[in-house]
Structure 1
């Protein structure tokens, strides 16, 4: 990424205030977004702040539901990264892009889960021992999601990569391609775990079913664009990894390469330029 060069960024005090401010906003919104998602889905999207009258409520809900996968994916394109770079003071946008991306994603999730208008229909709610079992599965899905984010590089997933680089006045350095932990079992553990969270809820409503279907479709299709980007950046390294690890479900027969050994690229970190991105 381009080195920090703006007058604001060159001043130590100004750079520190800017970096810390972005960090505080990013992580606060991230916590609120995750909390909103956990709580809203626990109740099957039956409790939220949206109050749009029918039939416009379904139009509003559809817009809220589709804006996340669409915008979230578009921001990863070349034009999307250009937009992200403009959402920070001149000369710092490229470095703060990972942080800005998480801020945007968090705001999208907060809007989706806080502004959803419930249908008012509840099909099923778990009680007694069934509730205990389902809540355990729901908690496990979230733990799995957290673990997969750690394996993928927590600094990148939570947005701290950008603001910390600015704070230290360093170029942005992305983590190496993830191949350890849950990435030994599936190439997309984050998407698999994310999909699990929407299907293990203790309350089922028409709202939750629509949410689960749309998000699961996104979790199946979205990684295809991510992998195309990985192939451009990592080339044969990613192809070698992909031959030994399944795309989505961790089928045992696919966990080893043709040589019988697990396919793992060499360790290390890689700098990703704008042209590679």
Structure 2
């Protein structure tokens, strides 16, 4: 995929190891706390957290918490944002640590959203009995599906190990190839689809959970469009060929479509048409 032009220039092996391990430890602790807070908060419909503000300040704070993740997350994926992330490391190690730094920032954003949310105190519906069992299973399956999608996409990138392990080994940063196997054989955006399922399979529904679910569903529908634009710039025709075979978000049956949205004719069919036209 992409690679830096040269390995990082570190002040020494000991310094490089300390920086790499420190960044890796911080990233993975933040990731675990962020995911844990998200799983727990949504399970209870965002009705339990550390936020204590009352209306109308709670509405303002919650809106800011809800918006900051998609906005900052998307900005950091732009050229300007990547340049900022590349500078968030000591010396010349910033670009190598960029995958780790990016995941650490995203994890802190998720942690802030779900730990600092100020609940409204209103609970619309809460599952009990068999309904609770069914939704517990669905909620767990949605998270397992998300984990599988992240694994298929390249777990080292998704959880931030790529950057700090590359620096630790003193190697050149090389990203995994464009994912096309596993769940990516059926849809192009399995991570976003699985993430969306996690916000809708909760056993407790409140106005807070609905706001979170609606916001993240919209984000998961739109954000991949920008991701695919980057993929087209990086991979060119390889991504176009992949996109022509695999649907965007849902595995609808039918003939594959080209990037323009038109149905693709099989080669044999195109040959027959050419003979008829000739």
TM-score w.r.t. structure 1 length?
0.91
Is residue 29–residue 107 contact of structure 1 (8 Å, CA) maintained in 2? Answer: yes
Rounded to whole Å, the distance in 1 between the matches of 2:244 and 2:68 is 33
CA contact (8 A) 1:135 1:202 kept: yes
Q: Which residue of 1 aligns with 2:132?
A: 131
In 1, Cα distance between equivalents of 2:125 and 2:78: 40
**Which blocks of at least 5 consecutive residues in structure 1 are unaligned?**
261-277
- The Cα of 1:88 is off from its aligned counterpart by 0.8
Q: Could you say if the C-alpha distance between residues 179 and 258 of structure 1 is closer, same or farther in structure 2, counting changes exceeding 3 Å?
A: farther
Task: Give the whole-Å Cα distance in 2 for the aligned partners of 1:190 and 1:5.
Answer: 31
What corresponds to 2:261 in structure 1?
none
Partner of 1:272: none
Report the 3-state secondary structure (helix = DSSP H, G, I; strand = E; otherwise coil) of the residue aligned with 1:91.
helix
Is the 2:135–2:203 Cα contact (8 Å) retained in structure 1?
A: yes
Does residue 1:12 correspond to 2:13, yes or no?
yes
Q: Would the alpha carbon gap of residues 204 and 226 (structure 1) be closer, same or farther in structure 2, given more than 3 Å must change?
A: same
Gaps of 5+ in 2: 258-263, 268-278
Partners of 2:78 and 2:105 in 1: how far apart? 15
Cα-Cα RMSD: 1.3
The equivalent residue for 1:110 is 111
User: How many residues get paired?
Assistant: 258
Runs of 4+ in 1 over 4 A off after TM superposition: 254-258
Which residue does 1:195 correspond to in 2? Answer: 196
The structure number with the bigger radius of gyration is: 2
Structure 1 position 50 matched with structure 2 position 51: yes
CA contact (8 A) 2:49 2:116 kept: yes
Moved more, 249-258 or 156-165: 249-258
Q: How does 1:13-92 map to 2 (within 5 A)?
A: 13-92=14-93
Equivalent position SS for 1:92: helix
* Equivalent residue for 2:6, pick from 3, 6, 9: 3
Q: d(CA) in 2 for partners of 1:2 and 1:77?
A: 20
8 Å Cα contact 1:4-1:92 kept in structure 2: no
Q: Is the contact between residue 72 and residue 105 of structure 1 (CA under 8 Å) also seen in structure 2?
A: yes
The residue that corresponds to 2:155 in the other structure is 154
Distance 1:5 1:31, change over 3 A: closer
> Does the aligned pair in 2 maintain the 1:98–1:156 contact within 8 Å?
yes
Partner Cα separation in structure 2 for residue 255 and residue 89 of structure 1: 47
Write the distance in 1 (CA, Å) between the matches of 2:175 and 2:243.
Answer: 20
User: Aligned ranges for residues 217-228 of structure 1 at < 5 Å?
Assistant: 217-228=218-229
Q: Which residue of 2 aligns with 1:101?
A: 102
Alpha-carbon shift at residue 82 of structure 1 (Å): 1.1
Q: Aligned partners of 1:92, 1:15: CA distance in 2, in Å?
A: 9
Aligned position for 2:260: none
Cα shift at 1:255: 5.9
Q: What's 1:246 paired with?
A: 247
Matches of 1:5 and 1:116 in 2, distance apart? 40
Q: Secondary structure at the match of 1:161?
A: helix
Instruction: Please tell me whether the aligned partners of residues 49 and 115 of structure 1 are also in contact (alpha carbons under 8 angstroms).
Output: yes
Q: Aligned equivalents of 1:255 and 1:175: distance in 2?
A: 26
What's the offset of the Cα at 1:85? 1.3
Answer whether contact 2:7 2:173 (CA < 8 A) is retained.
no
Whole-angstrom CA distance in 1 between matches of 2:8 and 2:161: 20
